[in-house]
Structure 1
């Protein structure tokens, strides 16, 4: 199974970029968009001068609990930049979301309480709400994380969206919101 099929099998359709989109990023944004792939994992990430954004992290069921996810995150932490990612909201009926939150919690990630993220999926036309988690070696402010997320959205998520999907994603200011008081 190729790297895209592994991701596509694991992530909900609303969260998946097309294979064409990801291959385009790997080609045309090769200076910032990377793929780290092994027999039991796929890690797609963006590395900017001042932060890292994890686009997708997949560890196969066979390798879970063996420290592979920890090793991949540790390798990114060595770069000493804030690391940001999006996750599905915690759902107590879904053990996968609980495990995911616990994993990132153990890795030292913080839930960005003041950042709201609601994006319409071009694949399903449904509103997809995600939570922003981040790790920072320097006590980064949520406002700074918010600005970095906006950059990611504009540079990566909506890259050539009209060409790729026949329509554009919503404007960044409709998708990402910042609430000083943390009650989005």
Structure 2
């Protein structure tokens, strides 16, 4: 199974870029967009001057618990700049979403609760809300994370979108919003385990 099939099997259709889109990013934006893969993982990420963005991180079920996700993230943490990623809101019927949030909380990520992110999927036509998580080694603010997300959205997510999908994604100002104190922290239940 190639890297794209692994991602496509794991991530919902509304979150997936087309293979052509990702291959074009690797080719035409190779100074920013990267792929790191091994037998049990695939990491697609964009590295900008002052932040990194995790586009997709897949770790195979067979290798879970071996510290592969932690090692993969450490490679980005070693760059000493903020790391930003999108996650689905927790869905207690989908144990993977809970495990994912628990993993990122353990890795020191914070929830950018003042950033709203809702994008219409070109594959399904449905609105898809995601939560923004970030790791801030230098105490970067949510405002800085918001500005970074806007840059990433315009440079990566919407790159040549009309060419690949026949239509374009909504503009950044419609998709990303900033409202301090607007939502509860999705990582809180995983950050402070209650001792019984």
Gaps of 5+ in 1: none
Partner residue of 1:64?
64
RMSD: 0.9
Q: How do 1:89-100 and structure 2 match up within 5 A?
A: 89-100=89-100
Gaps of 5+ in 2: 185-196
Q: Quote the Cα distance in structure 1 between the aligned partners of 2:177 and 2:103.
A: 26
Q: CA deviation at 1:131?
A: 0.3
Render the CA deviation track for 1:13-47: whole Å, top value 9, x for unaligned.
00000000000000000000000010000000000
Q: Quote the Cα distance in structure 2 between the aligned partners of 1:152 and 1:137.
A: 19
- Determine whether 1:42 maps to 2:42: yes
Q: CA deviation at 1:180?
A: 1.9
Q: How do 1:11-30 and structure 2 match up within 5 A?
A: 11-30=11-30
Partner residue of 2:5?
5
Q: How do 1:15-164 and structure 2 match up within 5 A?
A: 15-164=15-164
Q: Quote the Cα distance in structure 2 between the aligned partners of 1:79 and 1:50.
A: 10
Q: CA deviation at 1:6?
A: 0.2
Structure 1 runs (4+) deviating above 6 angstroms are: none
Q: Quote the Cα distance in structure 2 between the aligned partners of 1:92 and 1:115.
A: 22
- The answer (yes or no) to whether the contact 2:113–2:180 under 8 Å persists in 1 is no
Q: Quote the Cα distance in structure 2 between the aligned partners of 1:5 and 1:172.
A: 29
Q: Quote the Cα distance in structure 1 between the aligned partners of 2:89 and 2:127.
A: 13
SS at 2:46 equivalent? strand
Partner residue of 1:179?
179
Q: Quote the Cα distance in structure 2 between the aligned partners of 1:182 and 1:53.
A: 23
Q: Quote the Cα distance in structure 1 between the aligned partners of 2:163 and 2:9.
A: 25
Render the CA deviation track for 1:134-159: whole Å, top value 9, x for unaligned.
00111110010000000000000000
Q: Quote the Cα distance in structure 2 between the aligned partners of 1:87 and 1:128.
A: 11
